[in-house]
Amino acid sequence: FPVDKANYRHFMAKEIHEQPEVMGRTLARYVDVTAERIKLSQELPFHFSDIQRISITACGTASYAGSIAKYWFEQLARMSVELDVASEFRYREPLLRKGDLAIFISQSGETADTLAALRYAKTQQVHTLSVVNVPTSSIARESETVLQTFAGPEIGVASTKAFTGQLMVLAALAVAAGKARGELSESDEIRLVRELLEIPRLIAAALGSEPQIEKVAREIAKSRDVLYLGRGTSFPLALEGALKLKEISYIHAEGYAAGELKHGPIALIGENMPVVAIAPYDQVFHKTVSNMQEVAARGGNIILMTDAKGASEAIAHTLATIVLPDMAATFAPMVYAIPVQLLAYHAAVMIGTDVDQPRNLAKSVTVE
């Protein structure tokens, strides 16, 4: 990936649009396309059957990738996962069992807290595996196993293509874990690999929603607060959406598990408050719809990100419904990340902030 903006106004826009290619490159490394199998298991210095618990540690957007991976490891490999942000992990004396697996996720591979967490884990005799974008980085060098994301240089402070790259690597790892532990059959693996191989095409299709998202961003840009809601793997994506919006547009945004709405945030909802609902048609879709009804009843403006089936069954009135391509639900976050990123990007462009270098932020946080 050449380090220039090509014909884009910002690096962030270019990086959002590079995602089909990033996913293709990452797949080429981790998937045997002909055999339709994950290529990973043979090269790992541990066997997933010997691991009782996985700990995942990262900061910011990378921690949301870890949070989504937790659902995958639980669902596909029936493994218990503990997730921490690195600044908490490093100071809370976490209990790690010798021989277990600690995963560290970092685009830069230089984030101070994540690096310190890795160094702590190494003193506890666990296997350390890092998912990093920069293969020469400190975190890559100091980890027992390195799984690279092939995002190329990410210049925009807001992480976009590195995030989906991390998700792809973690998805492949979770499938490998499920297979190694006997939780997934050969045909399950083939089915899931086929779903992964569809992702570049689905992301390219999701990019097609950009003109519509640009219009919605006009509404968002006028707002003081925005709420993001999701359930299941869409919950960490809601957190990611809120982070993305606040860091580049400076609009206050919060992500919530949709089921938590009644436990507090519903008090914020008044006339025209924008609420972004991330809701692919999965087994919790109708639960999220009932949360949308609660928002609509209080005059909130719903921006729904869903698929054709979801759009036809969502009863609440929406300000906009962004219809994404149909896909199997498991890996939906990789595709739903696209409208989430585009919405933040266009809102920031409309407000006129320095999108690639927002105030007070550094691309890589190498000090505490």
Cα–Cα distance for residue pair 249/62, rounded to 1 Å: 20
Q: Is 106 in the site for ligand AGP (CB under 6 A)?
A: yes
- Rounded (to 5) percent helix, strand, coil in the chain: 50, 15, 35
Site string for ligand AGP, 145-184 (x = CB under 6 A): ------------xxx-------------------------
Residue (57 or 318) nearer to ligand AGP, CB: 57
In this chain, which of 19, 55, 67, 108 binds ligand AGP, going by CB under 6 A?
Answer: 108
Count of residues that interact with ligand AGP, criterion CB under 6 A: 15
Among residues 82, 140, 88, which one has the least CA distance to residue 110?
140
Exposed / middle / buried, residue 306 (Cβ in 10 Å: 0-12, 13-18, 19+):
buried
Cα–Cα distance for residue pair 23/11, rounded to 1 Å: 18
Cα–Cα distance for residue pair 150/61, rounded to 1 Å: 17
In this chain, which of 19, 26, 87, 107 binds ligand AGP, going by CB under 6 A?
Answer: 107
In this chain, which of 87, 111, 149, 223 binds ligand AGP, going by CB under 6 A?
Answer: 111
Q: Is 137 in the site for ligand AGP (CB under 6 A)?
A: no
Q: Which amino acid is at 248?
A: I
Residues with active-site annotation: 363
Residue 197: how many CA atoms within 13 Å on its side-chain side? Answer: 15
Q: Is 60 in the site for ligand AGP (CB under 6 A)?
A: yes
Q: Is 16 in the site for ligand AGP (CB under 6 A)?
A: no
What is the nearest approach in angstroms of ligand AGP to the Cβ of residue 347?
15
Residue 241: how many CA atoms within 13 Å on its side-chain side? Answer: 35
In this chain, which of 62, 118, 176, 269 binds ligand AGP, going by CB under 6 A?
Answer: 62
Site string for ligand AGP, 198-237 (x = CB under 6 A): ----------------------------------------
Residues 6 or more apart whose CB falls under 8 angstroms from that of 69 comprise 56, 81, 103, 167, 170, 171, 173, 174
Contact call for residues 108 and 153 (beta carbons, < 8 A): no
Residue (213 or 348) nearer to ligand AGP, CB: 348
Site string for ligand AGP, 246-265 (x = CB under 6 A): -x------------------
Binding site for ligand AGP (CB under 6 A): 59-62, 106-108, 111, 114, 157-159, 247, 364-365
